[in-house]
Structure 1
Amino acid sequence: MFGYDFWYQPRHKTMISSSWGAPAAFTKGFDLQHVTDGLYGRHLHVYSWPDGELKQTLDLGDTGLIPLETRFLHDPSKDTGYVGCALTSNMVRFFKTKDGSWSHEVAISVKPLKVQNWILPEMPGLITDFLISLDDRFLYFANWLHGDVRQYNIEDPKNPVLVGQVWVGGLIQKGSPVVAMTEDGKTWQSDVPEIQGHRLRGGPQMIQLSLDGKRLYVTNSLFSAWDRQFYPELVEKGSHMLQIDVNTEEGGLKTNPNFFVDFGAEPDGPSLAHEMRYPGGDCTSDIWS
């Protein structure tokens, strides 16, 4: 039972927590053997709220390896939420059933890319962070290894629809030794823009959305041991923060060319930027009870 993130829905008197892995494993960097050895999570734990009694454990199986960030819909009457499963790169929806228990299903699946010049023949997206807009219309998540940020319309929570995608880093961007392959054997790399003359380092990791839903902010450090393993340049030169402009009407994402915060230029840097928070509340802290 590897505790990680949690989220709660007071009107349903429920809290659900996720499970990253054993510190003895992830603090040393990622080793696929540790997954085989059972040192990484695949469960969600359902507790009564606020007394904290464990009521149910959901085994996500091989489709839900390393479940990290957990979010309910903001609407306090809803009994639906999602968890991002990093290694299998699936967004799993959890929900209450008619008998009052909880169940789950895969709502979004990011296919691994066939690649050349990498440690494995296939590369997972590695969903590391996600959030839901305050109006519950859109879900956003970051693929740390692939390098893209996605926007899905979730007005039908069972059937998310991809409406926006932007590439802001990753291991397969142009200029990288790693290339992806299509099903017909052709190679390709993502077209990642420079921002204010800076080549984007690392991959999109933590995200935060303005309360009006129009500005999505992105940083790129996951965990220093993993940064060093997958993006050594990030540790050497430091992180950055980007702004992505959001179309809140029909969907759509566009990197803002005028916004770049360079944490490599910090006085005691280079620094690794991770979590972001708005003073007074934001889309990953506010709930309506």
Structure 2
Amino acid sequence: MGTTTRIAWCDSTFNPWLGCIRVSPACDHCYAAALSWRTGRRDHHGLDLWDPLARRVRTSPDYWRAPLRWNRDALAAGRRHRVFCASMADVFDNRAPSAWRADLWQLIRATPAVDWFCLTKRPQNIAGMLPADWGGGWANVWLGTTTENQIEARRRIPHLVAIPAAVRFLSVEPMLEAIDLSPWLGALDWLIVGGESGVGNRSRPMHPDWVRDLRDQVRAAGGAFLLKQVGSNRALWPGVKHRKGENPIEWPPDLQIQDFPRRSGPSMRAHPPGSAKVAGELFTR
């Protein structure tokens, strides 16, 4: 749950609450569920946080103040801070109390120098859970969904591309098969690809040619491509030694790509006046 991270596409992680349930094949070897189990995290009734009956657990007020610090530091440095929001949860989980999500939107309002990457496996819930003034999207919120196979691509992407956003992205991790994204690429800005990790050689393998095909698809459409890792099952990746396949130097030269999309809108656009005051009241009480 820590705020620092080695994830290649963000600077920090932030979890407004903890807990989730499995919804698709991407969840079969969920790192968050495994971490929760190893560390003994439980809900208020003693249930493991990934138990289907468990309730979500909100993180502490002190923890919620960290993004305010990141925002101040980003403004001072003149460099935006990238945050993966809900690495141990899902922002659009309908089991999370709506009041907590409203608090999260207030925090996001108060941190215009932070780019919030909201990645979900529940894009069908996005439209009903956005703030009332979402309009054409907030400049510091990037919306994404996980698409590990063709079935989930067909099921999830239409919900994502129906929502206006500063940046729309896909996380194809774990990539479980070749995927055709051509019906939606015109509405997507960024593609993150990764092989499965965390269970050693039991990790489901990702073929290099699947990755090359996605790279070619997204580049032909003018989008950005980032290969995060090749995964722990490295049988198809000779020369890769890193346990998760995270070292780009070990990859084939044509796949050593970690690009980011160009931002749309002003680089440090603020949200409506007074949002910082609201957040100050909310996160210091």
Report the TM range for the smaller structure's normalisation: 0.3 to 0.5
TM-score, normalized by length of structure 1? Answer: 0.33
TM-score, normalized by length of structure 2? Answer: 0.34
Task: Give the helix-richer structure, 1 or 2.
Answer: 2
Which structure has more RCO (C-alpha within 8 Å, separation ≥ 6)? 2
Task: Give the strand-richer structure, 1 or 2.
Answer: 1
